[in-house]
C-alpha cells in the first residue's frame, strides 16, 4: 500500500481517484498532476448556471483547498505530462522534469473536436471545455447579438438555451436529422427541438456548413445565417496521445478492462479518456459523464490498492435546457421498444427503453422520481420491470426494485 501513485489529469476523475485512494487505505505518495493552473472544478455549470452568472466561480472547485493537505496529496497544477517511459516507470513534464511512479493513472479527459470547416479558426468562433473557455464565452455573450451554435448535442443545446435566455438571436445548426441523436430517441429529440423553437431559436437540421465568415455561417445549400458569435458544440475526442505514444492499446480512447486496467498492469485509465467493456450493453464504450468519471475512479482506487471489483455502475447523465431537466439512466442505443410513461403535453414524462423485453434505459423529462426509480431498477440483475408496467402511470415503480 506504499506505492508511489501518479495521477495525470486533475479533473473530475483525477480528484475522485486521489480521494478514493485514501479512502481505500492507500498510505503511499499520491501526486495529482494537471495541465490547468487551477484545482479541479466542475465542468457541467460551465454551459449552464456559471455561463448565466447564476453561480459564483468560487463554487466550482470539486474539493476545498484544505483537501490536499488533509489527505496528504501533492498537487502539481499547471504541469503537463508530455511522455511516459513505461520501462523506467517515469513520466516527463514539458519542463523536462521527470517523476517516478510505481502505479500510474491516466485521467486525461477529452479535447474539443474542431471540425475542418473553413473559418473555424476565426476569433469569434469559440468552443467550450474548460473554465477559461466559459469565461471567454460569457464575455463574448455580453456584446454578441446573434449566436450560431454548431452542433445540437448536449453542450451545444445548453449553450444555445443560455444564449437565448440572455436575449440573443440563436440559430442551432445540426448536421444530422435530429438533435442529441447519439443519445436519445426521436421522441425526446423532437421534444427538445420544439422547446428551443418555442423559445424563439431557429434550428437547421441535416444542415452542412460550407464556411464561417466574420459575420455569417454559410450552409452548403447557400443559406446564410448571420452570427457575430459562433459556438462549436461539435463533440470531443479522447485525450489518448500520451497513451498511444507509450504503446498502450487505444481505440476510441485508452482501452481498459472492467477493473480500469490498461494493457500495462501498472497503468489504469479513467473517465472521458477511457473505453471500457460495458456490463449493460456488452460493448466497449467510452462515456463522457460525471457519473462515469466518479464511479470508474472508485473502481480504479480499488484496483490500485489490490482489490478486484468490476465496474458495473448504471450510467446516468443530465442536461438542463431552459426550464427542462433531462435525466438519463442506462443506455438506449440498441433498444427495440420505447414506452412513454406520463403525458408529454404536461412536460413531465419518461421514455422507458427495452431490448427483447428487458429494461435498458430511461429518459426522464422533468420527472426526477422516475429517474431515481430507473437507476435502482437498472442496478438490479433481473431488471424486472415489464413494458406494460412502465406504461401504466398507476403502477408503483418501487415495486420493481
Ligand X SMILES: Cc1cc2nc3c(=O)[nH]c(=O)nc-3n(C[C@H](O)[C@H](O)[C@H](O)COP(=O)(O)OP(=O)(O)OC[C@H]3O[C@@H](n4cnc5c(N)ncnc54)[C@H](O)[C@@H]3O)c2cc1C
Q: Should residue 8 be labelled a site residue for ligand X when binding is judged by CB under 6 A?
A: yes
Closer to ligand X by Cβ: residue 20 or 389: 20
Closer to ligand X by Cβ: residue 354 or 375: 375
Q: Should residue 140 be labelled a site residue for ligand X when binding is judged by CB under 6 A?
A: no
Shortest approach of ligand X to residue 318 CB, angstroms?
5
Shortest approach of ligand X to residue 232 CB, angstroms?
12
Residues 291-320 that bind ligand X (CB under 6 A): 291, 293, 317-319
Give the binding range for ligand X (CB under 6 A) out of 23-31, 39-47, 59-67, 160-168: 39-47
- Give 216-222 contacts, CB < 8 A, sequence gap 24+: 217/148, 217/150, 217/171, 217/173, 219/173
Closer to ligand X by Cβ: residue 273 or 400: 273
Which of 46, 149, 232, 331 touches ligand X (CB under 6 A)? Answer: 46
Closer to ligand X by Cβ: residue 26 or 43: 43
The site for ligand X, by CB under 6 A, has a size of 36
Give the binding range for ligand X (CB under 6 A) out of 114-122, 254-262, 270-278, 325-333: 270-278
Residues 143-162 that bind ligand X (CB under 6 A): 155
DSSP structure class, residue 314? P
Residues 328, 319: Cα–Cα separation, whole Å: 9
Which of 75, 109, 152, 342 touches ligand X (CB under 6 A)? Answer: 109
Please identify the residue of the shown chain whose CB is closest to the bound ligand X. 11
Q: How many CB atoms lie within 10 A of CB 379?
A: 14
- Answer yes or no: are the C-beta atoms of 286 and 275 closer than 8 Å: yes
**Pairing outcome for strands 324-330 and 316-321:** antiparallel
Q: Should residue 18 be labelled a site residue for ligand X when binding is judged by CB under 6 A?
A: no
Which of 52, 61, 80, 190 touches ligand X (CB under 6 A)? Answer: 80
Q: Should residue 34 be labelled a site residue for ligand X when binding is judged by CB under 6 A?
A: yes
Largest CA-CA distance found in the chain, in angstroms, rounded: 65
Which of 43, 164, 178, 204 touches ligand X (CB under 6 A)? Answer: 43
- Answer yes or no: are the C-beta atoms of 209 and 199 closer than 8 Å: no
Give the binding range for ligand X (CB under 6 A) out of 6-14, 61-69, 184-192, 298-306: 6-14
Residues 285, 275: Cα–Cα separation, whole Å: 5
Which of 24, 28, 29, 36 touches ligand X (CB under 6 A)? Answer: 36
Shortest approach of ligand X to residue 220 CB, angstroms?
28
Residues 214-253 that bind ligand X (CB under 6 A): 239, 242
User: Among all chains, which residue has been given the C-alpha cell 435502482?
Assistant: 376
Q: Should residue 339 be labelled a site residue for ligand X when binding is judged by CB under 6 A?
A: no
- Answer yes or no: are the C-beta atoms of 208 and 126 closer than 8 Å: no
Residues 114, 111: Cα–Cα separation, whole Å: 9
Q: Should residue 107 be labelled a site residue for ligand X when binding is judged by CB under 6 A?
A: yes
Which of 71, 86, 129, 181 touches ligand X (CB under 6 A)? Answer: 129
Closer to ligand X by Cβ: residue 50 or 354: 50
Which of 7, 11, 255, 267 touches ligand X (CB under 6 A)? Answer: 11
Closer to ligand X by Cβ: residue 138 or 218: 138
Residues 6+ apart with CB under 8 A from 179: 152, 153, 157, 172, 189, 192, 193, 196, 203, 205
What are the DSSP E strand ranges found in 94-222?
98-100, 103-106, 110-112, 125-127, 146-150, 169-173, 202-204, 209-212, 216-219
Give the binding range for ligand X (CB under 6 A) out of 61-69, 102-110, 160-168, 276-284: 102-110
Q: Should residue 289 be labelled a site residue for ligand X when binding is judged by CB under 6 A?
A: yes
Closer to ligand X by Cβ: residue 272 or 370: 272
Distances (CA, A) of 73 to 22, 30, 267: 9, 5, 19
Residues 299, 259: Cα–Cα separation, whole Å: 6
Residues 243, 257: Cα–Cα separation, whole Å: 15
What nine digits make up the cell of 41? Answer: 472544478
Dihedral pair phi/psi, residue 186, rounded to 5°: -60, -40
* Residues at the site binding ligand X, with contacts judged by CB under 6 A: 8-14, 33-36, 43-44, 46-47, 80-81, 107-109, 128-129, 155, 239, 242, 271-273, 288-291, 293, 317-319
Amino acid at each position: 500500500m506504499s506505492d508511489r501513485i501518479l495521477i495525470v489529469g486533475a479533473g473530475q476523475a483525477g480528484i475522485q481517484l486521489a480521494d478514493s485512494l485514501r479512502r481505500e487505505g492507500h498510505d503511499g505518495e499520491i501526486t495529482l498532476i494537471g495541465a490547468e493552473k487551477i484545482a479541479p472544478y466542475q465542468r457541467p455549470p460551465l454551459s449552464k448556471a456559471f455561463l448565466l452568472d447564476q453561480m459564483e466561480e468560487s463554487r466550482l472547485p470539486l474539493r476545498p483547498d484544505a483537501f490536499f493537505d488533509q489527505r496528504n496529496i501533492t498537487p502539481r497544477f499547471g504541469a503537463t505530462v508530455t511522455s511516459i517511459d513505461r520501462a523506467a516507470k517515469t513520466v516527463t513534464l514539458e519542463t523536462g522534469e521527470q517523476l517516478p511512479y510505481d502505479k500510474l493513472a491516466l485521467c486525461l479527459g477529452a479535447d474539443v473536436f474542431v471540425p475542418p470547416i473553413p473559418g473555424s479558426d476565426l476569433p469569434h468562433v469559440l468552443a467550450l471545455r474548460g473554465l477559461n473557455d466559459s469565461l471567454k464565452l460569457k464575455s463574448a455573450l455580453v456584446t454578441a447579438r446573434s449566436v450560431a451554435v454548431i452542433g445540437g448535442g448536449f453542450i451545444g443545446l445548453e449553450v444555445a438555451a443560455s444564449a437565448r435566455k440572455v436575449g440573443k438571436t440563436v440559430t442551432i445548426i445540426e448536421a444530422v436529422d435530429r438533435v442529441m441523436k447519439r443519445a436519445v430517441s426521436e421522441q425526446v429529440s423532437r421534444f427538445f427541438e420544439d422547446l428551443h423553437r418555442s423559445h424563439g431559436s431557429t434550428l437547421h437540421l441535416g444542415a452542412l456548413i460550407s464556411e464561417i465568415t466574420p459575420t455569417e455561417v454559410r450552409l452548403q445549400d447557400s443559406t446564410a445565417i448571420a452570427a457575430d458569435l459562433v459556438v462549436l458544440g461539435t463533440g470531443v475526442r479522447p485525450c489518448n496521445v500520451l497513451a498511444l505514444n507509450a504503446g498502450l492499446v487505444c481505440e476510441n480512447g485508452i482501452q481498459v478492462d472492467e477493473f480500469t486496467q490498461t494493457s500495462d498492469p501498472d497503468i489504469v485509465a479513467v473517465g472521458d479518456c477511457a473505453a471500457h467493456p460495458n456490463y449493460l450493453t456488452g460493448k466497449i464504450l467510452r462515456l463522457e459523464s460525471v457519473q462515469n468519471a466518479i464511479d470508474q475512479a472508485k473502481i480504479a482506487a480499488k484496483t490500485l490498492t489490490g482489490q478486484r471489483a468490476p465496474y458495473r455502475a448504471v450510467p446516468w447523465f443530465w442536461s438542463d435546457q431552459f426550464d427542462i431537466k433531462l435525466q438519463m439512466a442506462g443506455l438506449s442505443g440498441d433498444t427495440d421498444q420505447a414506452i412513454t410513461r406520463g403525458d408529454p403535453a404536461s412536460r413531465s414524462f419518461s421514455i422507458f427503453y427495452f431490448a427483447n423485453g428487458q429494461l435498458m434505459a430511461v429518459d426522464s423529462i422533468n420527472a426526477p422520481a422516475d429517474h431515481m426509480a430507473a437507476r435502482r431498477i437498472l442496478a438490479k440483475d433481473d431488471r424486472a420491470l415489464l413494458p406494460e408496467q412502465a406504461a401504466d402511470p398507476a403502477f408503483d415503480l418501487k415495486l420493481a426494485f
